[in-house]
A and B are shown apart, each in its own frame.
Chain A
């Protein structure tokens, strides 16, 4: 087999993987690859779609050394990997690549502890707002109103604010990532790459299967989420200094919701959603003004 036939063999995410069409995680992994450049990372992936992405033994869709962790343990395994890499003065960063189940729910104690210890780990959560790998059950990242297989009438509770939780750990860097804002994504990923200590990045990651959206609409949906203010793009430095990267342009949230059938039968009150978006924006603007980065 020539390199011509398999031009992506050295890519972090190799061609031919089994990710669904329109999966936000696929874009995220390719941009992680681009941002890392020659600093090839160790990957630690807990139970998640992203470990199924690797494919069946002995093949692997990942072009970097990748360790599957038990569900709750990504940040602990990564602590071990990063510790030994540091003891041996290796240039390779350690990256956790985890879903929202492994981040917001079962892995949150492990994540919190690694953040508190300020381990030299770049932790990326691709948040598709469900347990995607098991067929789309609610997690604490599932937004209010979304129908999942375990919230058949729509989730009653609000989504957990993971950025606020991570910022409260006073880690060097926390930021949100959008697959509709490539330059912003890559800039933050590169910044995170070059910072030492614990870095937390969360990307809203469309899951056409779970969101009941069109696979070709994934980037468009995230664009709407950012423009409407539902998913603000911002950074928090040391848990203290805030910077807003992209401001909402007045787009109404209704279209974002209408283009996903997970909201089709929900009794979500649009005015409540609008008020919450406005309140979040007010809070972030106040923080960015009072405590600018």
Chain B
């Protein structure tokens, strides 16, 4: 494995390309390419890659980028694309279609604030607007986590027990445009990790069928329920995919969530993406000072890891959720899930909406949030922790 200094976007493009190339002896790969800041370098990388059996189509919109993926996947190829922000919003209809067609398409989403007004910096409102699509969600922290998770996402999505699209998210600019040292795997190892992509429902002339015609409520209920059942099988499929990854690559990417210093923690903070890296440093400092602080990084948002979270929460009495996203009229989107999961425990669960529109969430900001949580005797409505005002 070669150690490289590269940007998050380069790393993501590289991982997608190698996954596509790994299907060269099956039905090949295809995808759509459409630019949007801060994702553009990914599709540039893909357009420049020489696939043995593959084609990246330079389409006219994100809606069509996913449309090409759907057609290609329905024809049995490995399919993928990347987008950000309003591009994801524009793509949305076809993301839902990909899920309902049970197509294992991988979508890399570089998190960027939705406009208008126009703002190119990170928040998660774009990818979380796809919350209710039949789509796996992964939120990555380091560049290495990004590369590894893209490969794992193909493996999980294509597993016959799952067969759902997967979205792998990274922070705009903070991850996409910064460089870190990454182990970029060789093609042979990716070939070994990803079996030939099989889309069992693909279009075949031997068995002509119509996909997406009319269904009655009875069949539709069954269809949706099967999607839910597929989601419920993700934990076991993910565990196997991580085991195999560890065997082949010698390291184990994070699973659905990562709990740190939670065993005897009194207060726990929950975060995702690079905020979790900053949070980790804050928690370590506080531990060094004797505080019983802990943290959980949630990486897999769909399916939401309820069982893992309940287990990880340990003895904590107070939980704070850092949400770089906002559902107007409700609160943070991770908080909604966490609070629902922890409802029976009777814990104090406080939401902190922070870093909206790309404001810098520094260790000092997280420290103030940790102090607020420690001093709190009851949960309030979601709190806005403004960092850029």
Name A residues whose Cβ lies closer than 8 Å to a Cβ of B.
40, 42, 44, 51-52, 54-58, 60-70, 72-73, 75-85, 87-88, 92, 109-110, 112-113, 116-117
Contacts of A79 in B (CB 8 A): 57, 59, 64, 67-68, 71
User: Is B69 on the interface with A (CB-CB < 8 A)?
Assistant: yes
Q: Which residues of A contact B54 (CB under 8 A)?
A: 87
Q: A73-B64, A76-B59, A109-B61 are in contact. Are A66 and B210 (CB under 8 A)?
A: yes
With beta carbons under 8 angstroms apart, the residue of B63, B70, B210 that contacts A72 is B63
Interface string of B169-182 (1 = CB under 8 A from A): 00000000000000
Docked complex Cα distance between A56 and B217 (Å): 11
| Across-interface contacts of B213 in A (CB, < 8 A) | 51-52, 54-57, 60, 66, 68
- Which residues of chain B from 217 to 255 have any CB-CB distance to chain A below 8 Å in the complex? 219
Q: Is the CB of B75 within 8 A of A85?
A: yes
- 24 intermolecular pairs with C-beta atoms under 8 Å apart: A40-B208, A51-B214, A52-B213, A55-B213, A56-B213, A56-B215, A57-B210, A60-B208, A65-B210, A66-B208, A67-B71, A67-B212, A68-B211, A68-B213, A70-B67, A73-B64, A75-B64, A83-B30, A84-B28, A84-B76, A87-B28, A110-B64, A113-B59, A116-B60
Q: Does residue B376 face the partner (Cβ distance < 8 Å to A)?
A: no
Which of A56, A84, A92 is in CB contact (< 8 Å) with B214? A56
Find the A residue at minimum CB distance from B96. Answer: A70
Which of B75, B207, B219 has most A Cβ within 10 Å? Answer: B75
Cβ-closest chain A residue relative to B101: A67
How close is A65's CB to chain B, nearest CB, in angstroms? 4
Chain A residue numbers with a CB within 8 Å of B58 are 117
Q: Is B55 an interface position by the 8 A CB rule?
A: yes
Residue in A67, A88, A117 whose beta carbon sits within 8 Å of that of B27 in the complex = A88
The reply on B216 being an interface residue by CB < 8 A is: yes
Residue ID in chain B nearest A51 by CB atoms: B213
Does B349 make an interface contact (CB < 8 A)? no
Q: Do A80 and B210 contact each other (CB < 8 Å), given the known contacts A73-B67, A117-B58?
A: no
Q: B residues within 8 A CB of A92? A: 205
Closest to A68 in B: B212
> With A60-B208, A63-B208 in contact, do A83 and B71 touch (Cβ < 8 Å)?
yes
Known: A40-B205, A42-B203, A68-B212. A80 touches B94 (CB 8 A): no
B270 in contact (CB, < 8 A): no
Report yes or no: A83 in contact with B208, Cβ–Cβ below 8 A.
no
**Inter-subunit contact A62/B208 (CB<8 Å):** yes
B210 touches A68 (CB 8 A): yes
List, in ascending order, chain A residues with CB within 8 A of B93's CB.
70
Which B residues are CB-close (under 8 A) to A56? 213-216
* Pair B71/A52 contact, Cβ less than 8 Å: no
Of A51, A68, A78, A109, the contact of B60 (CB 8 Å cutoff): A109
What per-residue 1/0 map shows which CB atoms of B106-128 lie under 8 Å from chain A? 00000000000000000000000
Least CB distance, B81 to chain A, in whole angstroms: 11
B60 contacts which chain A residues (CB < 8 A)?
109-110, 112-113, 116
In the complex, B157 has a CB within 8 A of chain A: no
Q: Out of A42, A69, A80, A110, name the residue touching B30 (CB < 8 Å).
A: A80
B67 touches A76 (CB 8 A): yes
Chain A residues lying within 8 Å of B64, measured Cβ to Cβ, are 73, 75-76, 79, 110, 113
- A206-B71 Cα distance, complex, nearest whole Å: 30
Chain B, 280-331, CB within 8 A of any chain A CB: none
Most buried by B among A80, A110, A112: A80
Shortest distance from the beta carbon of B22 to any chain A beta carbon, whole Å:
15
Please give me the 6 A-B residue pairs with the lowest Cβ-Cβ distance, nearest first: A80-B71, A76-B67, A68-B212, A113-B60, A84-B75, A80-B72
B204 proximal to A (CB < 8 A):
yes
Assess whether B273 is interfacial by the CB under 8 Å rule. Answer: no
In the complex formed, the residue of A with least CB distance to B65 is: A76
Known interface pairs A56-B216, A66-B209, A110-B64. Does A81 touch B32 (Cβ–Cβ under 8 Å)? no
- If A70-B93, A79-B57 touch, whether A84 touches B27 (CB-CB below 8 Å) is yes
Partner of A76, one of B68, B79, B207, B214: B68
Q: Is B383 an interface residue (CB 8 A)?
A: no
Residue on A with the closest CB to B75? A84
Q: Chain A: which residue is nearest B215 at the CB level?
A: A57
A44 CA to B213 CA, complexed, in Å: 11
Q: B129 within 8 Å of A by Cβ? A: no
**Across-interface contacts of B216 in A (CB, < 8 A):** 56-57
Which residue on chain B has the smallest CB distance to residue A66? Answer: B210
List of A residues within 8 angstroms of B53 by Cβ: 87-88
Across the interface, do A88 and B79 meet the contact criterion of CB distance under 8 Å?
no
Question: Is A67's CB under 8 angstroms from B74's CB?
Answer: yes
Chain A residue contacts of B32, Cβ below 8 A: 76
Most chain B beta carbons < 10 A, residue from A67, A78, A88: A67
